[in-house]
Structure 1
Amino acid sequence: MFIRSLVASTLAAGMLAAAGPAFAGECPANQMRADATKAVTHAPKGVTDKVLSQIDLAGEKVALKGHLMRVRQLEIQPGGIVPWHSHGDRPALIYIVSGQIYEHASNCATPILHKAGEVARETHATAHWWKNEGTTPVVLLSFDIQHDPNDHNM
């Protein structure tokens, strides 16, 4: 009986995977399209950004002169906005420590909800903005590689 249940649940999971479900914190496959969300001009609102630590990569084995590997903590207040920005030369991983927040990505026709415990990937193809539509602050840890020292760091 246990084997039959295991096989049945494995088959059900396989059928769901074949249907192309969206993973937590990602754009659903049927909502992905180029230029789905246009750039907006929102200014930063209710956001603090603190560099916790960084490493100059020029002196490391990868020898990326002019690049810093950083860990930053961002806190976004209710109603707060992280303005439109691109990751053309600044890949990042964003860990949602607490709260939940919506990402408005250029390649997704619907806002993407990110919840505590999830990780958002930001690659060269990422352009987006974020908004805390909840009633509590959202805390994010950003692990990025910065190239442009004039980048607004969001």
Structure 2
Amino acid sequence: MFVRPALVSTLLLAGLGLAGPALAGECPADKLKADAVKPVSHGPQGVTDKVLSTIDLAGEKIALKGRLMRVRRLEVQPGGIVPWHSHAERPALIYIVSGEIVENASNCAVPILHKAGEVARETHATAHWWQNTGKATVVLLSFDIAADPNDHHM
């Protein structure tokens, strides 16, 4: 019967940490809390943000008029800050290419450490700011859906 081998394979992969996304870089379940971190007024500091490419989604089969899919490269210098922002209208996936960076999320009572090789998910429920507390430059790739091609929210 196919079900039993599939179940065994899934359990084996899960035990090896290969079945799904890693929990590293996420808020611990017991620390999730609404409005745990309030907005801060830090401006961008020691951050470069370069748009590498975009696709106008109005011309694609999904026909999302007024939306761009884009990829950006951000470099955050030691001590650098990505200022407070929301993803209410701009979902994103952030791939940490190199270094380690701390996220201060509105719904988490503790800072979240993101390390190279991890992906941070930013949904409509995400409002946060990031800081490089280390001694090396952090490189991030941001893949997002944006409404405004001139949107410079990080």
Give the structure-1-normalised TM-score: 0.84
Code of the aligned partner of 2:137: P
8 Å Cα contact 2:52/2:71 also seen in 1: yes
State the Cα deviation string for residues 101-148 of structure 1 (Å, max 9, x = none): 000000000000000000000000000000000000000000000013
The whole-number CA distance in structure 1 between the counterparts of 2:54 and 2:153 is: 13
8 Å Cα contact 2:71/2:141 also seen in 1: yes
Matches within 5 A, 1:54-65: 54-65=54-65
Instruction: Report how many aligned residue pairs link the two structures.
Output: 135
The whole-number CA distance in structure 2 between the counterparts of 1:150 and 1:79 is: 26
Residue 141 (structure 1) aligns with: 141
The whole-number CA distance in structure 2 between the counterparts of 1:151 and 1:72 is: 12
Matches within 5 A, 1:9-88: 23-88=23-88
1:149 positional shift: 4.1
Matches within 5 A, 1:106-125: 106-125=106-125
Code of the aligned partner of 2:32: M
More divergent stretch after superposition (57-66 vs 93-102): 57-66
8 Å Cα contact 2:95/2:141 also seen in 1: yes
The whole-number CA distance in structure 1 between the counterparts of 2:150 and 2:39 is: 20
Residue 9 (structure 2) aligns with: none
Give the structure-2-normalised TM-score: 0.84
State the Cα deviation string for residues 23-51 of structure 1 (Å, max 9, x = none): 10000011000000000000000000001
Residue 100 (structure 2) aligns with: 100
The whole-number CA distance in structure 1 between the counterparts of 2:150 and 2:55 is: 17
Residue 6 (structure 2) aligns with: none
1:150 positional shift: 5.1
1:74 positional shift: 0.1
Note the aligned Cα RMSD (angstroms): 1.4
8 Å Cα contact 2:68/2:149 also seen in 1: no
Structure 1 residues 23 and 104: CA distance shift in structure 2, 3 A: same
Identity %: 77
